[in-house]
Structure 1
Amino acid sequence: MAGFEWGRQKASPALRLSTGLVVAGAIALAAGAVVPVSPDAGAGFLSWPLLVLLAVVPAGVVVAAVGSGRHGLAAGLIAGLVAFAPGRLVLDGQFLVNGAKTVRPELYLPDRLLDRSAVGAGFWLLVAGHVLTVAAGLVAARVARELNESAGSEPGQRRWRLVVPLLTVVAAVGLLMTPVLSDDPFLLARSAFEGPGVALVGYLLLAGALPIAAVLGLSAASDGVARGTLGGVSAAVFAVALPGLVAGLVVNGLQVSTGAYLALAPTVLVLILAPLTTPQEAKTEGADLAGEARVPSLTLWRSLTALLALLTAVAAAIGALAPQLGTATESPARWQLFAAAIVVVLPVPFVLVRRTAPAARGLLAVVWAGVVLAGTAVLSTAITASEATGLGGLGGAISYHLGLGAVFTAVALGLAGLTALSAVITGVVERDDVGTEGPRSPVLVPAAVAAVLAVGSFGMPVFTAPSYSAPGLWSDFDTPSWGLLTALLVVLGVLALGVRSRPGAAAVAYVGGALLLALHVVELPLVGSTIDGARPGLGFWLGLGAAVAAAVAAVTAAAGAKSAE
């Protein structure tokens, strides 16, 4: 075996080790699909043939790629698979913490009411499979890096390099939604944000890793690594989402969810586009130009950003004005969401005007977070009510049905994420056209002040009231807290990037940050006015100070841009 030749070119020891680890991991995952994960409940249907295929087929493709000398493809496949391994490991950890709260009918579907359940040998086999996959990825990362270095430092023009990340964001949104719909009284199917904490962390790791892995794969200098990473990511999404879709089709009391379709349909497109992302041995300059012609123009991306922002604003407005539940239930945060919709829609017409497009696009890259900030607060009304669904009382079982407002608010959150990604990609294309040379903006002091005050503002309640506990970042972490965290990270990001940006771009970023802080501060008049005894909290005054500091930074940067002319 020491002199064994793998195909046309001998595989490096690192690649052979990585291949062996990923094969061992696949075998462990396949065994975990056959052996029960818990002695208290079994699979809801004959799922092990499907789960075994989903585990062993990607590993088999890796072995075939190594055997045929396509080492870049093999390393990329392993890298794509390992991107999901940590999230899948944490997600499976819910079996250990409290299996009764899992929504995994392909592995665990109780036939009686369970408070807790033990774990079986199948659980430990799944853990071993994920750990072995992570180990394989660590080794394959070195191989991929060497292949990228030998291919050159620049990846060149990738076909579909701007479309594939958008598809992965849509799939990531699907992963966060309810994996399967359930009328089964022993399976309470919930979305990631409504379920237990361990499962939430797992789903967040999966949703975050998906677009990041796709972008990193497309930026690889080696064509094989780029295509392999997209293929590995697609296989990992299938392994997570496809069993839920099949369960919805074949198990009595379960139905296919929208989340399953959102996760799988874009992933199928990514898998189809994966071999087309790079030119196939282009031999002439004309062939290379033909490959580049597939990249959408700057005008197209600006139009797409404007369209997504408009759809986000419309969905947010409907979500704010329509009832959250089947009755006339309204959320106290609805007017804050409506204000966020207005802030998002105002720059849209200017994105389509060449002179004002960069500034309007820059604003959209920031203010989208206002929809998340207010939208999560609006959704908490429906989520709180849904937690009471099925509970018995003096009047019998409590039953709630989501209203149009809750549905469109959830849609607005997904569209806001797509708007952000499209705006960022458009900015990258703009910088490719105009370059990044020029002086930097001297706004370190006001930006630093705004950052410190922003942390305090989003961490403290904007208003206080008797018998009212506001969701926060440090305590009472609830659904609205995710909006607070998102907005805080966006504000800190633009304040940090503005210091290293040209004065004009920095001014736009700081204006966006000031608007986002203002949306947070107006929670006092828009939301607090509906609560008796509300008075300004520390978060209001800190947010007001942060908004002023960000505005000062914007004015300073704008003055620098004017003097540079």
Structure 2
Amino acid sequence: MALAVGAVVPVSPDAGPGFLSWPLLVLLAVVPAGVVVAAVGSRRVGLAAGLVVGLAALAPGRLVLDGQFLVNGAKTVRPELYLPDRLLDRSAVGAGFWLLVAGHVLTLVAGIVAARVARELNEVAGSDAGQRRWRLVVPLLAVVAAVGLLMTPVLSDDPFLLARSAFEGPGVALAGYVLLAGALPIAAVLGLSAASDGVARGTLGGVAAAVFAVALPALVAGLAVNGLHVSTGAYLTVVPTVLVLVLAPLTTPQEAVSERTDLAGEARIPSLTLWRSLTALLALLTAVAAAIGALAPQLGTTTESPARWHLLASAILVVLPVPFVLTRRTAAAARGLLTVLWAGVVLAGTAVLSTAITASEATGLGGLGGAISYRLGAGAVFTGVALGLAGLTALAAVITGVVERDDTGTEGPRSPVLVPAVVAAVLAVGSFGTPVFTAPDYPSPGLWSDFDTPSWGLLTALLVVLGVLALGVRSRPGAAAAAYAGAAVLLALHVAELPLVGSAIDGAQPGLGLWLGVGAVVATAVAAAFAAAGAKRDE
């Protein structure tokens, strides 16, 4: 009700909706709640709990996205709620904004309560969720919809509405879209993994309803408002979500006759095959997005980043283990590699994005030829998408590792890798902290000085390497060997910055970070060899 009333009451006194949107927004808010009430009335508790959980999974992202109205509503791209008819620098918020905030918070609270019910139903369910239908198609559709959320929601010829993608817009809106894009595929996978048929169907339906509430109004605005047009991002979000909603009732062979609410039974682990498949899918999508980001122009012109070949190399390294994740004998080792190699996309991707970010910071500055203006190209957009997908790949790989350990146990001998691991850690800190190459008039981003956009990639890769080296000491030999091999490849990718990036810069010379990196690669490879020898002895 709060979301429905918030759609009727203005969110700002300075601008109103661009079209008669409140009937659509009220339907998008009331219909899911009505289905929940009807499901509870008919004792289909699992369906009701799943719907609320699915809605709540995207509530934090929707809350942060609406927070842009409070920070600076003039920069929002929400024509269903706010379309100015004059140039505005700032705008105030109205009662509608606070009602929307209350609606999202209440949805999140309801989701916490519903999650407890869903967990109880999953514990007592007797069917195997690993055999659920469409277990590969639905996550793929969810990932496509998540990419659509990060793209421009609507195209605009209106001079008072500057339509931009998530990566071109303000920081609060970007955070909201990233939360939505990250939660969408994870919620879909967890919904498919639910042991209870009702919870599985309900979660997918709730996720679809939440996505419709964000994306469908923008699509309608593109059709109904003069000066606005439907964007590719709107189609990429709405169409796959419709397919998810259609497939939701088909995910299980049949509806359970009754849903028990007692606590008898055992807790179940989501299918290991499902998690491995999701990890492989996300890694493949990450590699594709990174490759497009490397080869496409960073700006609207043909501007290229000197780090583009570095990003392309990272994409190749990520995609190589993907086929082996789906093979039983090599799945654990390939998953261990992906647990590390995703950081290579972040390492190179932040360097590629710095070209576009530097140019965007110059937008509006005056020069001899007048004001400077840049428009982000496909390369920058897909590089940003690749960074988000890389994070999802890491999350899926880690969860897959947890499920693998639950299946195989953690008992067994440990490899004598402490000494080479410590040496590798010390050298890795020095390598990531000092430049791999230097060049005249070229400020090499680092961790201790000249901290810039690429420095976040350096920091991410360093933390991943250090974490892997530390965990490998206490891991089983086979798992440690795979993780250390991935760390060695990641360090080698960092060292390869000299030929891949330095070749495009005049006067590039090897720096201290190169030699420290080579030493770290050797030490990590030695640790991987020791661990592999220990794994062979155990067989």
Query: Quick check: TM above 0.5?
Result: yes
For the residues of structure 1 that align with 2:194 and 2:325, how far apart are their CA atoms? 31
Amino acid at match of 1:320: A
Against the structure 1 CA distance between its residues 102 and 152, is the aligned structure 2 distance closer, same or farther, given a 3 Å change threshold?
Answer: same
Question: 1:42·1:107 contact (CA, 8 Å) conserved in 2?
Answer: yes
For the residues of structure 2 that align with 1:538 and 1:35, how far apart are their CA atoms? 61
Aligned to 1:558: 532
Aligned to 1:130: 104
Q: Is residue 2 of structure 2 the alignment partner of residue 31 of structure 1?
A: no
For the residues of structure 1 that align with 2:123 and 2:432, how far apart are their CA atoms? 43
Aligned to 2:146: 172
For the residues of structure 1 that align with 2:433 and 2:222, how far apart are their CA atoms? 40
Question: 2:283·2:318 contact (CA, 8 Å) conserved in 1?
Answer: no
Question: 1:45·1:106 contact (CA, 8 Å) conserved in 2?
Answer: yes
Aligned to 1:88: 62
For the residues of structure 1 that align with 2:448 and 2:50, how far apart are their CA atoms? 39
Of 232, 243, 246 in structure 2, the residue corresponding to residue 258 of structure 1 is 232
Aligned to 1:333: 307
Q: Is residue 187 of structure 2 the alignment partner of residue 187 of structure 1?
A: no
Question: 1:458·1:485 contact (CA, 8 Å) conserved in 2?
Answer: yes
What SS does structure 1 have at the residue aligned with 2:58? helix
Against the structure 1 CA distance between its residues 399 and 251, is the aligned structure 2 distance closer, same or farther, given a 3 Å change threshold?
Answer: farther
Q: Is residue 470 of structure 2 the alignment partner of residue 507 of structure 1?
A: no
Question: 1:447·1:495 contact (CA, 8 Å) conserved in 2?
Answer: yes
Aligned to 1:343: 317
Amino acid at match of 1:142: R
Question: 2:182·2:392 contact (CA, 8 Å) conserved in 1?
Answer: no
TM-align CA RMSD: 4.3
Q: Which moved more, 1:525-534 or 1:142-151?
A: 525-534
Of 396, 400, 412 in structure 2, the residue corresponding to residue 439 of structure 1 is 412
Shift of 1:272: 1.8
| Alignment of structure 1 residues 261-280 onto 2, 5 Å | 261-280=235-254
Q: Which moved more, 1:156-165 or 1:269-278?
A: 156-165
TM-score w.r.t. the length of structure 2 is: 0.80
Amino acid at match of 1:207: A
What SS does structure 2 have at the residue aligned with 1:331? coil
For the residues of structure 1 that align with 2:456 and 2:138, how far apart are their CA atoms? 26
Against the structure 1 CA distance between its residues 514 and 194, is the aligned structure 2 distance closer, same or farther, given a 3 Å change threshold?
Answer: farther
For the residues of structure 1 that align with 2:175 and 2:281, how far apart are their CA atoms? 32
Shift of 1:263: 2.1
Shift of 1:192: 2.2
Of 356, 363, 369 in structure 2, the residue corresponding to residue 395 of structure 1 is 369
Aligned to 2:221: 247
Q: Is residue 207 of structure 2 the alignment partner of residue 230 of structure 1?
A: no
Amino acid at match of 1:439: G
For the residues of structure 1 that align with 2:235 and 2:52, how far apart are their CA atoms? 25
Against the structure 1 CA distance between its residues 524 and 392, is the aligned structure 2 distance closer, same or farther, given a 3 Å change threshold?
Answer: same
Q: Which moved more, 1:158-167 or 1:542-551?
A: 542-551
Amino acid at match of 1:97: V
For the residues of structure 2 that align with 1:259 and 1:478, how far apart are their CA atoms? 30
Question: 1:461·1:472 contact (CA, 8 Å) conserved in 2?
Answer: yes
Question: 1:472·1:484 contact (CA, 8 Å) conserved in 2?
Answer: yes
- Percent of aligned pairs with the same residue? 85
Q: Is residue 203 of structure 2 the alignment partner of residue 203 of structure 1?
A: no
1:385-429 Cα deviation digits (max 9, x unpaired): 456567776535545455565566567667767877998899899
Amino acid at match of 2:132: R
For the residues of structure 1 that align with 2:14 and 2:422, how far apart are their CA atoms? 55
Question: 1:181·1:256 contact (CA, 8 Å) conserved in 2?
Answer: yes
Of 126, 144, 154 in structure 1, the residue corresponding to residue 118 of structure 2 is 144
Of 218, 241, 247 in structure 1, the residue corresponding to residue 192 of structure 2 is 218
For the residues of structure 2 that align with 1:64 and 1:379, how far apart are their CA atoms? 49
For the residues of structure 2 that align with 1:348 and 1:75, how far apart are their CA atoms? 35
Q: Is residue 131 of structure 2 the alignment partner of residue 157 of structure 1?
A: yes
Against the structure 1 CA distance between its residues 499 and 154, is the aligned structure 2 distance closer, same or farther, given a 3 Å change threshold?
Answer: farther
Amino acid at match of 1:555: A
Amino acid at match of 1:248: G
Question: 1:171·1:262 contact (CA, 8 Å) conserved in 2?
Answer: yes
What SS does structure 1 have at the residue aligned with 2:92? coil
Aligned to 1:375: 349
Aligned to 2:265: none
Aligned to 1:4: none
Shift of 1:527: 3.3
1:293-339 Cα deviation digits (max 9, x unpaired): xx9999x969x959974x86676556535543454422121231233
Shift of 1:161: 2.6
What SS does structure 1 have at the residue aligned with 2:54? helix
For the residues of structure 1 that align with 2:224 and 2:433, how far apart are their CA atoms? 46
Question: 1:193·1:479 contact (CA, 8 Å) conserved in 2?
Answer: no
Question: 2:282·2:389 contact (CA, 8 Å) conserved in 1?
Answer: no
For the residues of structure 1 that align with 2:195 and 2:283, how far apart are their CA atoms? 31
For the residues of structure 2 that align with 1:360 and 1:379, how far apart are their CA atoms? 28
Against the structure 1 CA distance between its residues 205 and 341, is the aligned structure 2 distance closer, same or farther, given a 3 Å change threshold?
Answer: closer
For the residues of structure 2 that align with 1:50 and 1:124, how far apart are their CA atoms? 20
1:62-96 Cα deviation digits (max 9, x unpaired): 00100111011101111111111112111111111
Aligned to 2:45: 71
For the residues of structure 1 that align with 2:237 and 2:422, how far apart are their CA atoms? 39
For the residues of structure 2 that align with 1:448 and 1:164, how far apart are their CA atoms? 43
In structure 2, stretches of 5+ residues that fail to align are: 258-270
What SS does structure 2 have at the residue aligned with 1:520? helix
Q: Which moved more, 1:495-504 or 1:553-562?
A: 495-504
In structure 1, stretches of 5+ residues that fail to align are: 1-26, 284-294
What SS does structure 2 have at the residue aligned with 1:255? strand
What SS does structure 2 have at the residue aligned with 1:108? coil
What SS does structure 1 have at the residue aligned with 2:67? helix
For the residues of structure 1 that align with 2:252 and 2:393, how far apart are their CA atoms? 26
Number of residue pairs aligned between Structure 1 and Structure 2: 524
What SS does structure 2 have at the residue aligned with 1:181? strand
Amino acid at match of 1:102: T
For the residues of structure 1 that align with 2:462 and 2:185, how far apart are their CA atoms? 21
For the residues of structure 2 that align with 1:467 and 1:234, how far apart are their CA atoms? 51
Question: 2:193·2:200 contact (CA, 8 Å) conserved in 1?
Answer: yes
Against the structure 1 CA distance between its residues 111 and 397, is the aligned structure 2 distance closer, same or farther, given a 3 Å change threshold?
Answer: farther
Against the structure 1 CA distance between its residues 208 and 322, is the aligned structure 2 distance closer, same or farther, given a 3 Å change threshold?
Answer: closer
For the residues of structure 2 that align with 1:181 and 1:31, how far apart are their CA atoms? 28
Aligned to 2:94: 120
Aligned to 2:74: 100
For the residues of structure 2 that align with 1:411 and 1:205, how far apart are their CA atoms? 13
Q: Is residue 28 of structure 2 the alignment partner of residue 54 of structure 1?
A: yes
Shift of 1:229: 1.1
Against the structure 1 CA distance between its residues 47 and 455, is the aligned structure 2 distance closer, same or farther, given a 3 Å change threshold?
Answer: farther
For the residues of structure 2 that align with 1:521 and 1:201, how far apart are their CA atoms? 32
1:139-171 Cα deviation digits (max 9, x unpaired): 222222222233359645322233322322222
Of 14, 17, 39 in structure 2, the residue corresponding to residue 43 of structure 1 is 17
Amino acid at match of 2:155: L
